[in-house]
């Protein structure tokens, strides 16, 4: 019976995340990740097979983590909480936020591994289903309007802070909420619209 791996999948991904946060995806070489862990480089290739697969797996793990709260808010009928999810998640997960919002998945993996095709489909499908379901419950609301309010506005608000190397300040929550409400107010009125509050 073989020995159990010294480092878990998540430990390897966490090391890659830390290096990416410090120096960008280009810094997260297999050599650098192995050195951060104190592991032989062969153990990384044994676990992931390729550098592209390791970084792509890191990106999908991060995307799943981010989407969880966003999708939950929309499923609960709370578009405002969905809009506020982005800045709040970025403050709680600054390294993950920098990876997910500043680096597109194609920048991380020169060739997106076929092994993760189903995982990507799940990510894309979950987000589309959440938006479609919310829109179906609110006559007059379009997917484009909802996406602008709960995705585009928050993304634009947090991106410059992440580019500057720090998490978005709590003060932008109120601005995101005001902008999202202005976009959604014409079609989300009365009891159908649950209201979130900024800190």
Q: Percent of the chain at pLDDT above 70?
A: 88
pLDDT bucket at 4, cuts 50 / 70 / 90: low
Residue 5 is predicted with a pLDDT of 61
Q: Indicate whether 193 pLDDT > 60.
A: no
Burial of 43 (0-12, 13-18, 19+ CB in 10 A): middle
Global pTM reads 0.84
CA dist list (Å): 75 to 17, 45, 127, 199: 29, 39, 11, 22
Q: Express each pLDDT in 83-120 by its tens digit.
A: 999 999 999 999 999 888 877 766 666 677 777 777 77
CA dist list (Å): 133 to 12, 13, 79, 99, 121: 36, 33, 12, 28, 18
What rounded mean pLDDT belongs to the chain? 87
Most confident segment among 6-10, 78-82, 100-104: 78-82
pLDDT bucket at 7, cuts 50 / 70 / 90: confident
pLDDT bucket at 149, cuts 50 / 70 / 90: very high
Residue 31 is predicted with a pLDDT of 96
């Amino acid at each position: 019976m073989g020995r159990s791996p010294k480092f878990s999948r998540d430990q390897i991904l966490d090391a890659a995340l830390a290096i990416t946060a410090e120096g960008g995806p280009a810094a997260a070489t297999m050599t650098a990740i192995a050195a951060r862990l104190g592991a032989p480089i062969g153990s990384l290739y044994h676990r992931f097979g390729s550098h592209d697969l390791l970084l792509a797996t890191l990106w999908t793990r991060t995307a799943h983590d981010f989407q969880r709260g966003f999708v939950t808010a929309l499923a609960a009928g709370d578009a405002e909480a969905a809009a506020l999810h982005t800045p709040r998640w970025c403050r709680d997960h600054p390294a993950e936020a920098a990876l997910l919002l500043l680096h597109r998945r194609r920048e991380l993996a020169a060739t997106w591994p076929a092994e993760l095709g189903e995982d990507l489909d799940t990510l894309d499908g979950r987000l589309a289903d959440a938006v479609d379901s919310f829109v179906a419950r609110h006559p007059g609301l379009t997917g484009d309007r909802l996406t602008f309010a709960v995705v585009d506005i928050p993304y634009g608000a947090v991106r410059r802070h992440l580019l500057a190397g720090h998490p978005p300040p709590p003060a932008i929550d109120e601005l995101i909420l005001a902008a999202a409400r202005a976009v959604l107010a014409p079609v989300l009125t009365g009891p159908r619209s649950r209201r979130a509050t900024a800190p």
